[in-house]
Amino acid sequence: MIHEVRGVVARSKGAPVTVETVLVPDPGPGEALVAVQACGVCRTDLHYRQGGINDEFPFLLGHEAAGVVEGVGDGVDTVAPGDFVILNWRAVCGRCRACRRGKPWYCFDTHNAAQSMTLSDGTALAPALGIGAFVEKTLVHSGQCTKVSPAIAPEIAGLLGCGVMAGLGAAINTGGITRGDSVAVIGCGGVGNAAIAGAALAGATTIIGIDVDPGKLQWATDFGATHAINARESDAVEAVRSYTGGFGADVVIDAVGRPETWRQAFFARDFAGTVVLVGVPTPDLMVPEIPLLEIFGRGGSLKSSWYGDCLPERDFPMLVDLHLQGRLPLEKFVSETITLDDMEAAFEKMERGEVLRSVVLLGGPG
């Protein structure tokens, strides 16, 4: 059976998105059909629409989603119809060289659905990050569905599927933040504020939020930053040093991803500290000029964080539980709920820095 549903499609580079009829096949072997309940608007969706990821238009946008499994294909025993799931874009294979060496969060051969979703004329859609979830029903690999407690609201749960997980994981998994650490986070959007929440959860005692937008700094404080620095008004490196006894922070997270912010992260770090790059640079940006001797002499580690080095099966249920216990205020990331027809307006609000996340609500099962 083919399911005829509505979804948000980016047809060509830079053009406004359109809501189109999307044809979704029944799940084949290893696949799952999911009735999407909520999907957050991430900067990466805008990158797809602008042609900043690749040229494989038309794209079916959306990838920060939660919903209910409606059907599964042959051989699927990890999820069943009726399960409430968060979708993930790193369904690990268990067999590649990273998985075999016990580091599956680096998996080099992650799974996606084998069948395509299409436009009504049969044109295959390229789903954003192998998901495509601004659509009433989506087809994914069953490993992309992580079952969690249905007690969490879908519009909150879905955010763990991308940006919020990336930020929390950059702090907890990649940065290895622990009790008593000092932490600085450059860029306090959805990802940076999630890193701040992660640092607070892990027990960091000094948490410094840095941004160029005063509104974002207010959010940073709400998520647990003990100090806020406006990088337009003061030197970020000097300010971090002044809040850390003159030394610099144990862990500095760059959630912007530009040479100037990475340079600040490098020098705002204490000796033997850690820099985590979680913001995604554009292809034109180069490593800033830093004497090699500084890299040697300062020691420590310079890391990147893909999807917060998360393992969805391990991390999503744990983070949902912490939220339900009142220890992780994920609801604060939801700035507004919208419909499929509001996508362009949501992109504009994101560009103006007015929202942490706009979340599309969809009908879900039925």
Residues within the interface to ligand NAD (CB under 6 A)? 43-44, 162-163, 166, 186-192, 210-213, 216, 231, 255-257, 260-261, 278-280, 305-307, 353
CA distance 36 to 161: 13
Q: Which does 107 bind (CB under 5 to 8 A by kind): ligand NAD, Zn ion, none?
A: Zn ion
Output phi, psi for 200, to 5 deg: -65, -45
Which residue has the closest beta carbon to ligand NAD?
189
Characterize the bridge pairing of strands 334-338 and 357-361: parallel
Closest CB to ligand NAD among 106 and 306?
Answer: 306
**Closest separation in Å from C-beta 269 to Zn ion:** 26
Q: Does residue 63 come out as left (phi exceeding 0), alpha (psi in the -120 to 50 range) or beta?
A: alpha
Nearer to ligand NAD, 148 or 159 (CB): 159
213: phi then psi, degrees, rounded to nearest 5: -120, 115
Q: Between 139 and 166, name the residue whose CB sits nearer to ligand NAD.
A: 166
Nearest one of 21, 5, 18 to 57, comparing CA atoms? 18
Q: Are 211 and 205 in contact (CB under 8 A)?
A: no
For the residues of 96-127, what is the DSSP string, one character each? SHHHHTT-GGG-SS-B--SSPPEETT-PBPEE
Q: Which of 216/298 has CB closer to ligand NAD?
A: 216
Nearest distance from C-beta of residue 229 to ligand NAD, angstroms: 9
Q: Which neighbouring-strand residues pair with 86?
A: 66, 146
Least distance (Å) from Zn ion to the CB of residue 225? 23
- Measured torsion, CA atoms of residues 51, 53, 58, 62, in degrees rounded to the nearest 10: -110
- Cα separation of the two ends of the chain: 16
Least separation in angstroms between CB 358 and Zn ion: 13
Chain contacts with Zn ion (rule: CB under 5 A): 42, 44, 93, 96, 99, 107, 109, 162
Q: What does 353 bind: ligand NAD, Zn ion, none (CB cut-off 5 to 8 Å by kind)? A: ligand NAD
- Tell me the torsion sign for CA atoms 194, 200, 202, 205: positive
Nearer to Zn ion, 294 or 348 (CB): 348
- Nearer to ligand NAD by Cβ, of 23 and 166: the residue is 166
Report what 257 binds from Zn ion, ligand NAD, none; CB cut-off 5-8 Å by kind. ligand NAD
Residue carrying the six token digits 């499929």: 340
Which run of H or E residues covers position 216?
Answer: helix 214-222
- Residue among 114, 61, 66, 60 at smallest CA distance from 87: 66
Name the binder of 183 from Zn ion, ligand NAD, none, CB < 5-8 A by kind. Answer: none
Task: Give the nearest distance from C-beta 26 to ligand NAD in angstroms.
Answer: 31
CB under 5 to 8 A by kind: which of ligand NAD, Zn ion, none does 148 bind? none
Q: Which is nearer to ligand NAD, 260 or 336 (CB)?
A: 260
- Cβ-based nearer residue to ligand NAD, 30 or 43: 43
Residue 211 interacts, among Zn ion, ligand NAD, none and using kind-specific CB cut-offs from 5 to 8 Å, with: ligand NAD
Q: Give the one entry of Zn ion, ligand NAD, none that residue 244 binds, where binding means its C-beta sits below a cut-off of 5 to 8 angstroms depending on kind.
A: none
The least CB distance from residue 188 to ligand NAD, in Å, is 5
| Interacting partner of 216 out of ligand NAD, Zn ion, none (Cβ under 5 to 8 A depending on kind) | ligand NAD
Answer yes or no: are the C-beta atoms of 208 and 195 closer than 8 Å. no
Instruction: Please name which of 135, 48, 140 lies closest in space to residue 86, comparing C-alpha atoms.
Output: 140
For residue 159, the minimal CB distance to ligand NAD (Å) is 10
